[in-house]
Structure 1
Amino acid sequence: MDRPLILVAGATGNQGGAVVDALLEHSGQWRVRALTRDPSGAPGKVLAARGVEVVAGDMADKESLKQALKGAYGVFGVQNSRTAGLKGEVQQGITLVDAARAAGVEHFVYASVGGVERVRGIPHFDTKWEIEQHLRAAGLPATLLRPTTFMDVFTMRGASVGLGMMAAALGPRKSLQMVAVRDIGVFARLAFEQPETYTGQALELAGDQLTVPDIATRLKAAGRPGRYARVPRVLLRAMGKEARMLFWFEESGYNADIPALRKQHPGLLTLKTWLAQTSGLEAA
C-alpha cells in the first residue's frame, strides 16, 4: 500500500523545513512533497537530494496548487506576513485551505501563533486568526499548532535589541514561553501520525519558560552573546501596533501546558538543550 503523501507548503522556510525534517525521520511512513516557487533554486535542490518531491506552486494561486495537491492525504500550511505582507498572508492561507478542500485532503495542519484566540490588535496574530476561522468554516479535518516565541530569535542578529525590548515589557521577573522550531515539526508529524488524537485540537507549543535575565544567562553559558540594555518603555509605546505583542506578554502572554506537551513529545527542547544542540555543546 502506498505511503500517505504530505504536501508541505513553505517547505524552504523555518517551520516548513522543520516539518520536512520530522517527516523524513520517519521516511518509511510518508511520502513528502515540498511546495516552492522555484524548484530549481538551491533550497529546492537540497530537498530533492534528500528524497523530497519538489513541485512549483504559489499559495496565492489556486490553479498552481491543484497539481501540487494531487493525491495528497495531508497538508502542512504556514504563511509569513514579513514576506507576503499582512493581506498577502491571509490570501495565501485562505487560498491554500480552499484548494486543499477541493482536492479532498483528509488532514490539514496549520501553523498559527500562541494566544491567537485570546488577544486582538497584534497585526500578525489577527491575520492568523482570520485564517484559522476560515479553516474551521471550510470543515476540513484540521489540527492547529500555535507556537510561542521561537528560541531562534535569541541567537539572530540584533537579538540584544529584542532582549532589551522584552526586558522593558516583562521586567526582571515576568517569564516568557518559547519553543524550538524543530519541535513544531515534531508536533506536525505527531498530528499526521495520530489523527484520532490530534484532529480538532489546537495546541499552544512551548518547551521552556524563562525570565529575560535567565534567557541571557543561558545564552552566555552556551557561549552566545547575552548582553542587552533595557529599552525605555516610552520608546515601546511610540512603536504603536508593533509593540502590542510586547505589552501583551506583560499583561497575560502565552499559556502553553509544557508538562502535558512533554508527555506527548518527551524530547521537547528547553532553551538550554536547544542551545547545546545548535552550538555543538553538550547539555549538562
Structure 2
Amino acid sequence: MLTIAVTGATGAQGGATARALLAAGHHVRALTRAPTAPAARALHRLGADVRRADLDDRPSLDAALAGTDSLFAVTTPFGTDPATEVRQGRTLLDAAADDRLGHVVFTSAAHADRRTGIPHYDSKAEIERHLRTTGVPWTVVAPAAFMDNFASGWTLEGLRENTFAWPMPADRPLTLIPAEDIGAFAALALTRPAEFTGRRVDIASDELTAAGIAAVLTTAAGLPVAHREVPLAEVRAHSHDLAAMFGYFGTTGLDVDVAALRRAHPEVGWHTFADWAAAQDWPALLAAPPRRR
C-alpha cells in the first residue's frame, strides 16, 4: 500500500485521481490551498488525509510531501498565466526531488511535446522538460480534450438555444476524455511504476466529429441540437490561448490511438462520450442561471 500525494485534489483531475487511488486501497494525501472547501471535505470523508499546500509556498509543499512515496502533479495557467504555471511546476517538482520521492506522475496535455504553439501546452512542455532533469522517476500522462468541459461554458450556453457552438468544422474529429478516466489512468501509472516509469502517454477515451458530438448531446440532453461553427476570431477576442488551441484542433488535430489504449489497459474502464453524456444531469445543468458576460 502506497502513500501518494495528489496536488489539485479539489480539482477535476486531482480529485478523480485521489478517488481512484482511495478506491484501490491506497493512502492519499490530498494537497489543496483550501482544505476546508466542500470538495476537500468530501475527500476527507472518503479517507484522504487533506493537507494545505500552495505551489507558491515551498515550505508548505515540503511539509505536505514529507513521508509520501509518490506524487500526482497537476498545474494550470488558468487563473494566472503560463509563466506562473511554469514557475509553480518547477517549484513542485524540485520539492519532490529534494524529498526523494520514488515516482512523479505529471499530467500534461496530448501533443504538448510537439511544438504546438498553444501557450498553455508550451508551458506544460517546459515543465515536462524540467521533470526529466530532476532525477526523480517520472511518468507523463497527457490527456486529450476534456469531456467535462461540455457541461459548462460555451456548450451549455449554446444548448439552451438548441445549438452546439464549437470552434471546429462539423466534420473534424476530436479525441476526448473525461476526468474520471484521467484519474483512473494516473492511478494505474502511480501504482505500477515499473511499467510506466520513463514513459509519456497521450490518452483519450473516444473520438468524434463536432457533428457527432452534437448528435450525442441531442440524445443525452433530450433536445434537438445542431452544430454551429464558432469563428476563431470570436474565440480570439476572448482568449488568444484558446484560439490557438482550437486552431490546432481544427487543422493538425489530436491523434491519440484510442483503440490501442483500450486494448492495453482495459482496467481503466474507458468511457465513450455517449457514456459520459448519459451520466450528466442535463435538466439541472440547463436550468442553472447562465453565466454573466
Q: Return the TM-score normalized by structure 1.
A: 0.89
The one-letter code sitting in structure 2 at the alignment partner of 1:164 is: A
State the alpha-carbon separation in 2 of the partners of residues 51 and 269 from structure 1. 26
Instruction: Name the residue aligned to 1:213.
Output: 211
Whole-angstrom CA distance in 1 between matches of 2:82 and 2:211 = 32
Choose the corresponding residue for 1:99, options 95, 100, 104: 95
**1:187-202 alignment to 2 at 5 Å?**
187-202=185-200
SS of the residue aligned with 1:82?
coil
Deviations 1:141-188 (A, max 9, x none): 111011010011112132156953423xxx222201100110000111
Deviation at 1:67, TM superposition (A): 1.2
Describe the SS at the equivalent of 1:229.
strand
Among residues 261, 272, 275, which one is paired with 1:273 in the alignment? 275
1:32 corresponding residue in structure 2: 28
Cα deviation 1:221-257 (Å, max 9, x = unaligned):
0126634432245545666454111111122121211
The partner residue of 2:131 within 116, 131, 135 is 135
Check 1:206–1:165 CA distance in 2 against 1; reply closer, same or farther (3 A cut).
same
1:99 is displaced (CA, Å) by 0.2
SS of 2:167's equivalent in the other structure is: helix
Aligned length: 273
- Per-residue deviation, residues 181-237 of structure 1 (Å, max 9, x unmatched): 100001111102211111111111111111101100001101266344322455456
Q: Is the 8 A contact 1:166 1:212 kept in 2?
A: no
TM-score (norm 2): 0.87
Letter in 2 for 1:200: G
Residue 7 of structure 1 corresponds to 5
Counterpart code for 1:166: P
Which residue does 1:158 correspond to in 2? 154
- Does the 8 A contact of 1:155 with 1:224 survive in 2? no
Amino acid at match of 2:146: F
1:50-89 map, 5 Å: 50-89=46-85
Which stretch shifts more, 243-252 or 206-215? 243-252
Which letter maps to 1:57? Answer: A
In the alignment, structure 1 segments of 5+ residues that lack a partner are: none
Q: Which runs of 5+ in 2 are unaligned?
A: 283-293
Q: Is the 1:121–1:241 Cα contact (8 Å) retained in structure 2? A: no
Match of 1:229 in 2: 228
